[in-house]
Amino acid sequence: MDKKKPRVCIIGAGPAGMAALYQIKLNAADQINVECYEKQETSEGLWNYTWRTGTDEYGEHVHSSMYTNLWLAGPKEGTEYMDYSYKDHFIKLLPSYVPREIALQYGNGRFTKGQCGDMKSLVHCRHVVTSVEYDNDADHFTVWVRDLPGNKDNKEIFSHVVVASGAFYVPNSPSFEGICSFPGRIIHSHDFREAKEFADQTVLIVGSSFSASEIAVQLIRFGAKHVIVTYRQHPVNFKGTRSIEERPIVTKDRQQHHPFKRRNQRRCGRR
């Protein structure tokens, strides 16, 4: 490896990975060699929607937690790039809160029409990094990359590694006493895709953070009969929504007295 010209590996082509790639190309294109690896079929990471849950066709964990009718939980202005605004992309003003499709289009716009031009060709999609090892004596990283469609592993040497693979794409499901005897369906919010699926059902949501609150409102909006949100510290206070009830966090699942024992009812988990 040429010591005079660093070679950088970027793991992940989501918003963080693409931002790192953008800055390298914008400020040091002639001084740094860079390779970006993304296990999905396209960039933009968590903003990509897929109907798949669990694992994909290659046996990899499905990265996306996107669901059909997701909207930004915070104003878009808080995540705008200074050099490429929503107005720059859509050529008009938009509301502060936008659906996932708009956020995805905006992110793709910056990395195809921004100052660096089309950066999609710089990303190795369907390539997953399986191992990174640092050699202290040689002062470099050995990175093993698996070409998923080609079903082969390649070894690459880099001077620097940027880890931008995301922190929450593998669900962390809580365990409660008696949960294995619950007769209904149990899913994690990571695998939630469509609120209409829960129409006329009673849903228990474990947790009360951003995803839990958003999913609770989505469920009622698309026909759920009743939603119970359980909180660990403080209730959310869903004002004006009588169909959403709040209770302290679940501690155990007592089947003999369980209010959700009918098999056609549902339950969503939250990390």
Tens of pLDDT, residue by residue, the chain (271 residues) = 556 789 999 999 999 999 999 999 999 989 999 999 999 999 988 899 999 998 999 999 998 899 999 988 889 999 899 999 999 999 999 999 999 999 999 999 999 999 999 998 899 999 999 999 999 999 999 999 999 999 999 999 999 999 999 877 788 887 888 888 888 889 999 999 999 999 999 999 998 888 899 999 999 999 999 999 999 888 888 877 789 999 998 887 555 444 444 333 444 444 3
What stretch of H or E contains 146? strand 140-147
Best CA proximity match to 249, nearest among 233, 267, 269: 233
| Residues forming a β-bridge with 34 | 8
Task: Provide CB contacts within 8 A for 242, sequence distance 6+.
Answer: none
pLDDT score, position 254: 57
* Beta bridge pairs of residue 266: 185, 203
In angstroms, rounded to a whole number, what is the distance separating the alpha carbons of residues 104 and 109?
A: 8
**Tell me, what's the pLDDT at 270?**
41
Sign of CA dihedral 12, 16, 18, 22: negative
pLDDT of residue 173: 81
Residue 36: the pLDDT is: 97
Distances (CA, A) of 22 to 14, 18, 80: 12, 6, 15
